[in-house]
Amino acid sequence: MLSSINIRTKLLLVIVSITIVVILVSAITINMKARETVKKQAFDKLTAIREIKSQQIEGYFKQINNQVITFSENKMIVSAMNNFRESFVNIEDEILHKNESYKNIDKNLKEYYQYQFASKLEKQKIEQINIDDLLPLSSRSRLLQYLYISNNQHPTGEKHLLDQSDDISSYSAAHKVYHPIIKSYLEKFDFYDVFLVDAKTGSIVYSVFKEIDYATNLLEGPHRYSNLGEVFKQTLKATKSDSVRIVDFKPYLPSYNQPASFMASPIYDGDEKIGVLIFQMPVNQINEIMTNNNHWNTVGLGDTGESYLVGEDLMMRSQPRLLIEDKENYLSALEKNGVTSSVRNIIRNFNSAIGHHKMDNQIVRAALDGDIGEKTFKDYRNQTVFASYKPLNLEGLNWVIFSEKDESEAYASFVELRRQILVFSILLIAFAIIVSYYVANSLTKPLLKLGDSANNLAKGNLDDPIERSNNDEIGDLSDHFENMRLALNKTFIELEQSKEELEDRVKERTQELNSTLSVQEEQNKQLELQNVELERIQKEIANSEQRVSTIIQSSPDGIVTIDKAGILQTFNFTAENMFGYAARDILGKNIKILMPKDIALEHDYYLEKYIPNSDSKLVGRMREVIARRQNGELFPIELAVEEVFIDNEIVFIGIMRDITARKKMEKEVQLAKEKAEQANQAKSGFLANMSHELRTPMNAIIGYSEMLVEDAEDDGLDDMVDDLNKITTAGKHLLSLINDVLDISKIEAGKMELFLEDFSLSDVINEVSSATQTLVNKNNNHLSLELDDKLDVLHADMTKIKQILFNLLSNASKFTHDGEITIKTHFINKNGIELVSISVIDTGIGIAEDKVDKVFKEFSQADESTTRNYGGTGLGLALVKHFSQLMGGSVSLESVLGKGSTFTCELPIKVLSIEESTDLPIENVDDIKEHVKELDNAGSGCKTILSIDDDPHARDLLCRNLANEGYNVVTAENGMEGLQKARELKPSLITLDIMMPEMDGWEVLKALKASPDTKNIPVVMVSIVGDKAMGTSCGAVDHISKPVNRSLLKEIVSKYALRGNALIVEDDANAREIAVKSLNSIGWKTGEAENGKIALDEFNKNSYDLILLDIMMPVMDGFEFLQKLRATQKGSNVPVIVLTAKDLSKEEKEILQGNVKQVFSKGDTSIDELVSQINNQFD
């Protein structure tokens, strides 16, 4: 191409080209250096801004930290904490029980929650909540919320304007004094709210803003799992007065789900930690620092720059600039980045991204891991930004700060410089062209003249001489052309001479070529044959490739291949149907189009770092992943990836299968399983709840029948004794059946507990053998014992062992006639574990081999004829199996039909508890006896027993039975009455029912132990449901189950009282009557109370030496009664016996711990047993 251009043009092009190259290289170099300089300056500026903002944020948190410490150590706060604590506890006694106008508190409060609080949440489109889950648990908390929230005439958000409620309580008096001062502090330091929390109870005794968290309990209340509850629990662990704890921002329901952070410090009065001061931190202060009061330009962030904070959960902790300046554009950017509509709606409604906008990228995660640096990346608007970031030094918080600016704005000055360089370069190039044109003309004119001379030479005109026109190199070139003209003349002459010689030589060479052509033709034929064979091989290869392609396209699984860059190379028919893409549309695109965005972001990185033939978590393994269809739908697939090498290039083959239907089926199976489990739990819960309703009338039936037997024997009515004994026996049989059903339901519900103790196995076997001797003799059987002398002490649940033995002996006695029954024990060692083997062997009817497995199932026997001929429920052996397994053992059966059966139970010598943690300390009998000796040594001749039970029949039975033993029994029908009588009478012993109205046994027990007057009185718990493990772990001296066994009642009362005055607190009139008569029979004088409140009044009026207390009572239950009783000096030492029909939770056990002398389960304890226990204690 250049050969056709004249030399002038070439010179012009060369000069201009060189000039342009020099100018462009210079411009590009300047451009690159300028770009790097601008970028460095931008990062330096962002880093400076980042450092300023980080210092401001860290300084702000240090300032608040110091304010919290200073405020918590302020004498006014200490005084306020003491006043609010004391008045918070007494507010019910000061208001509720003296003023009838507060009866509709719960209704009024619930309407506030429903129509003001919940309706505001619904306007913000927050998912619905259950109002009942938010209401305070205690009546004291509801009363305070009524006074200062629902009955407060100020609108929601201004409840803090009320300085004093219109009541006469000491709490409102304290509120009037301290509220204006603390409120002024809040306004001065711009906190959202200030809380004072009782360190012992966890109750919020004061808050400024009066939201629905006010007056609730942070240990048990509805907000115990919030971040407010979390910072309170953390602060409780602090051991120094200047300790400060902080929890991060997250949505806080009482503040209408606005993000909230809390900072707290303990409040000490001297060396005693009395409370916790908590500040609810404002969000606006942090936003003002980060946004510079919405003046970003003044700190050098320009039109697009911003600084923001991100927390450990990747959520923003300050407002993004775009949300403040253009909310709709911000929400649109979030939508484009895949943020869900629910999150966008929350941000729209709250006008806040704090705690809602997730910044999940590698830069943020690196910063949270401690990285400090400067990077360029795509921000939440999908704009490329320059960012400088670092983690903040905030104690208790893991936050990072980002300062960033759009790349386009940062490079604005550089773009202007580049435009100026371009204009200057164009001018230089134009100047270069003009200069080049002049130089080219001066050089080419003599060359053109020399060219004409050369043309003449070419035409054969060798006679014209060539003249020299210049004295430079071109002139020298003219001389050379002249010399060439002379040489050419000479050469033409010599060529004519050589022509003839050349023609001869050509003839010779032609002959040689003809002989060579024949050989070449033969070689061409061989090449043709090879081409035919090559075409055949290529056709076979094409057919093979077609077959492989057909197989791939017909595969039921989706098959795709990608190269090392992730570009799709093949996409079979199944994959087309699976993803909705046609192969022609998707081939050549990146496989990330088939992935969710979160997975797609990491895919390129994984391919880049992948090492062929290495151990990978993905390649060569089947796994489940989420894929994305063309319509955006996400669905589960099974994926297997393999690597192959084609032409030395790695190719990844993916085989995938849509498992949507399988996942749906698995979910349906799981739902069906959960429904079945819920139904089973509902059944178990129903049986457990029904036990209380069934045992209450049984209490009266068995109690009165036992008393009638005694009266008939005393009156000589022997003909009635047998019938009355049948009534008692039938009642106890029914009760035993109820107990078996309840035990099964407890086991199924996972609520069965073990009480582990050391005992003599031989003593237990002898005791059970004696108890079942009547059953053995009934069918003329003989019972023998073969006990291993090596076995002495066993560590297990003695009650469960007795039940196992009793059920096995009952079963053997029932199915054996005129035969032998043997109990055999021996020591065994299996795999290093020491076990005891207990066998019950009979010579009865035996069991068929195919029926062996059936006998251990609930409500099942070997066959239906067994039930018709021998009776029974089929629960006994099922309980034997469950109890054995519960203690880590097993039970087996060997039987021969018609010859007898051998039931063998293998148990560890030392049974481990179900939970790794041990139960609470248990007051043992020796301690109780020592306490009684101290009473005796004190010379007290009082024999008063206080029985607290809402059941009049239970109270009556206790009174009648204990009176016969010489005790003075005083009863109380509720917790309040029981507490009052305990304080007044200071009885020697208290029996306490658990389930009472108004004030249950737990509340009564708390009150008893809180009072100096009653805290040392022994307490025996009496209720329908209970067991030894629960009673002793609660610290009770005893626990009696309803219906109360008279002998046990007498024994317990005698054990803990000095046959003085006994107060019976029981809401069931029948139970009260039985208790009164039982205690009167052993010399006790009795008082009665049908609930805890009446019991407290009765105790305050009279002196009592013993209290029998029911737990579940109206008005005031046994727990509250105990609490108030122990809070008085008079009731601090009075013995209390709890009679309960209630299953005790761990919290309730802790309440009873040390507050009662004994807990009895109603139904498992007769009146005789209760009286016997009382006698043993005080004799």
* Separation between Cα atoms, residue 1049 and residue 1043, nearest integer Å: 11
SS3 sequence of 628-656:
ECCCCCEEEEEEEEEEEEECCEEEEEEEE
pLDDT tier, 462 (very low <50, low <70, confident <90, very high otherwise): low
Please name the residues in contact with 1147: beta carbons below 8 A apart, sequence gap of 6 or more: 220
pLDDT higher than threshold 90 for residue 540: no
Lowest-pLDDT choice from 390-394, 792-796, 1013-1017, 1064-1068: 1013-1017
Distance from the Cα of residue 435 to its chain's centroid: 82
Same domain, yes or no, for 598 and 581? yes
Same domain, yes or no, for 716 and 810? no
Same domain, yes or no, for 240 and 127? yes
Can you give the C-alpha Rg of the chain in angstroms? 49
With respect to residue 542, please indicate whether it lies within any of the assigned structural domains. no
- The whole-number pLDDT of residue 916 equals 38
* Separation between Cα atoms, residue 381 and residue 387, nearest integer Å: 14
Same domain, yes or no, for 652 and 589? yes
Please name the residues in contact with 196: beta carbons below 8 A apart, sequence gap of 6 or more: 77, 80, 81, 84, 204, 205, 206, 207, 267, 275, 276, 277, 278
- Using alpha carbons, select from 745, 751, 706 the residue that is nearest to residue 728: 706
- The whole-number pLDDT of residue 848 equals 79
pLDDT higher than threshold 60 for residue 88: yes
Same domain, yes or no, for 194 and 89? yes
pLDDT tier, 2 (very low <50, low <70, confident <90, very high otherwise): low
pLDDT tier, 264 (very low <50, low <70, confident <90, very high otherwise): very high
* Separation between Cα atoms, residue 184 and residue 161, nearest integer Å: 11
pLDDT tens for 1041-1060 read: 666 666 667 667 666 655 67
With respect to residue 571, please indicate whether it lies within any of the assigned structural domains. yes
pLDDT higher than threshold 80 for residue 96: no
With respect to residue 642, please indicate whether it lies within any of the assigned structural domains. yes
Same domain, yes or no, for 350 and 308? yes
Lowest-pLDDT choice from 51-60, 123-132, 872-881: 123-132
The Cβ-side half-sphere exposure at 492, using a 13 Å CA radius, reads 11
Of 240, 256, 281, the residue at which a domain comes to its end is 281
pLDDT higher than threshold 50 for residue 926: no
Q: Average pLDDT in the 1016-1022 region?
A: 81
Question: Which helix H or strand E contains 1061, and what residues bound it?
Answer: strand 1061-1071
pLDDT tier, 1023 (very low <50, low <70, confident <90, very high otherwise): low
- The whole-number pLDDT of residue 176 equals 94
Where is pLDDT greater, at 533 or 557? 557
pLDDT higher than threshold 70 for residue 911: yes
With respect to residue 1087, please indicate whether it lies within any of the assigned structural domains. yes
- The whole-number pLDDT of residue 1051 equals 67
Of 234, 254, 281, the residue at which a domain comes to its end is 281
Tokens standing for residue 152: 């407060």
pLDDT higher than threshold 60 for residue 864: no
- The whole-number pLDDT of residue 316 equals 92
Q: Average pLDDT in the 967-991 region?
A: 87
pLDDT higher than threshold 80 for residue 812: yes
pLDDT tier, 1033 (very low <50, low <70, confident <90, very high otherwise): very low
- The whole-number pLDDT of residue 267 equals 95
- The whole-number pLDDT of residue 231 equals 95
Where is pLDDT greater, at 518 or 30? 30
Lowest-pLDDT choice from 432-441, 598-607, 746-755: 746-755
Where is pLDDT greater, at 533 or 227? 227
Distance from the Cα of residue 658 to its chain's centroid: 31
Distance from the Cα of residue 851 to its chain's centroid: 46
With respect to residue 180, please indicate whether it lies within any of the assigned structural domains. yes
Q: What's the mean pLDDT when you consider all of the chain? A: 81
- The whole-number pLDDT of residue 920 equals 31
311: domain CATH number is 3.30.450.20
pLDDT tens for 315-348 read: 999 999 888 988 899 999 888 888 898 888 888 8
Same domain, yes or no, for 246 and 146? yes
Q: Average pLDDT in the 199-215 region?
A: 95
Residue type, 1074: I
* Separation between Cα atoms, residue 472 and residue 459, nearest integer Å: 27
Where is pLDDT greater, at 5 or 910? 910
Degrees, nearest 5: CA angle 654-658-659: 125
- The whole-number pLDDT of residue 1142 equals 60
Same domain, yes or no, for 80 and 153? yes
Q: Average pLDDT in the 251-263 region?
A: 90
Lowest-pLDDT choice from 116-120, 848-852, 906-910, 1092-1096: 848-852
Same domain, yes or no, for 896 and 762? yes
Where is pLDDT greater, at 124 or 589? 589
Task: Give the long-range contacts of residues 1028-1031, CB within 8 A, separation 24 or more.
Answer: 1028/755, 1028/799, 1029/753, 1029/754, 1029/755, 1029/797, 1029/919, 1030/753, 1030/1143, 1030/1144, 1030/1149, 1030/1159, 1031/1138, 1031/1144, 1031/1152, 1031/1158, 1031/1159, 1031/1160, 1031/1161
Where is pLDDT greater, at 648 or 155? 155
How many domains, the chain? 7
pLDDT tens for 110-164 read: 999 988 888 877 766 556 678 888 899 898 999 999 999 999 999 988 989 998 8
Is 1053 in contact with 935 (CB distance < 8 Å)? no
Is 627 in contact with 640 (CB distance < 8 Å)? no
804: domain CATH number is 3.30.565.10
Please name the residues in contact with 380: beta carbons below 8 A apart, sequence gap of 6 or more: 320, 333, 334, 337, 357, 359
- The whole-number pLDDT of residue 1147 equals 62
* Separation between Cα atoms, residue 995 and residue 1091, nearest integer Å: 9
- The whole-number pLDDT of residue 170 equals 93
- The whole-number pLDDT of residue 1163 equals 56
**pTM (global) more than 0.85:** no
Where is pLDDT greater, at 1037 or 539? 539
pLDDT tier, 1145 (very low <50, low <70, confident <90, very high otherwise): low
With respect to residue 124, please indicate whether it lies within any of the assigned structural domains. yes
pLDDT higher than threshold 90 for residue 244: yes
Strand 1061-1071 vs strand 968-972: parallel, antiparallel, or unpaired?
parallel
- The whole-number pLDDT of residue 184 equals 92
């965005």: which residue's tokens? 597
Same domain, yes or no, for 633 and 774? no
For 322, the domain range is: 285-412
- Give strand ranges (E) for 558-714: 558-563, 568-571, 622-628, 634-646, 649-658
With respect to residue 989, please indicate whether it lies within any of the assigned structural domains. yes
pLDDT tens for 350-376 read: 888 888 889 988 999 999 999 999 999
Where is pLDDT greater, at 500 or 1085? 1085
pLDDT tier, 1034 (very low <50, low <70, confident <90, very high otherwise): very low
Q: Average pLDDT in the 465-479 region?
A: 71
pLDDT tier, 921 (very low <50, low <70, confident <90, very high otherwise): very low
Same domain, yes or no, for 272 and 291? no
Q: Per mean pLDDT, which of 424-438, 788-802, 1148-1162 is the most reliable? A: 788-802
- The whole-number pLDDT of residue 938 equals 38
Phi-psi region of 262 (alpha: psi -120 to 50; beta: other; left: phi over 0): beta
- The whole-number pLDDT of residue 17 equals 82
With respect to residue 687, please indicate whether it lies within any of the assigned structural domains. yes
- The whole-number pLDDT of residue 1035 equals 43
Of 1012, 1041, 1070, the residue at which a domain comes to its end is 1041
Q: Average pLDDT in the 281-294 region?
A: 87
Same domain, yes or no, for 564 and 651? yes
- The whole-number pLDDT of residue 930 equals 37
pLDDT tier, 927 (very low <50, low <70, confident <90, very high otherwise): very low
- The whole-number pLDDT of residue 380 equals 85
* Separation between Cα atoms, residue 266 and residue 274, nearest integer Å: 8
pLDDT tens for 452-461 read: 777 777 766 7
- Using alpha carbons, select from 279, 285, 263, 287 the residue that is nearest to residue 351: 287
pLDDT tier, 515 (very low <50, low <70, confident <90, very high otherwise): low
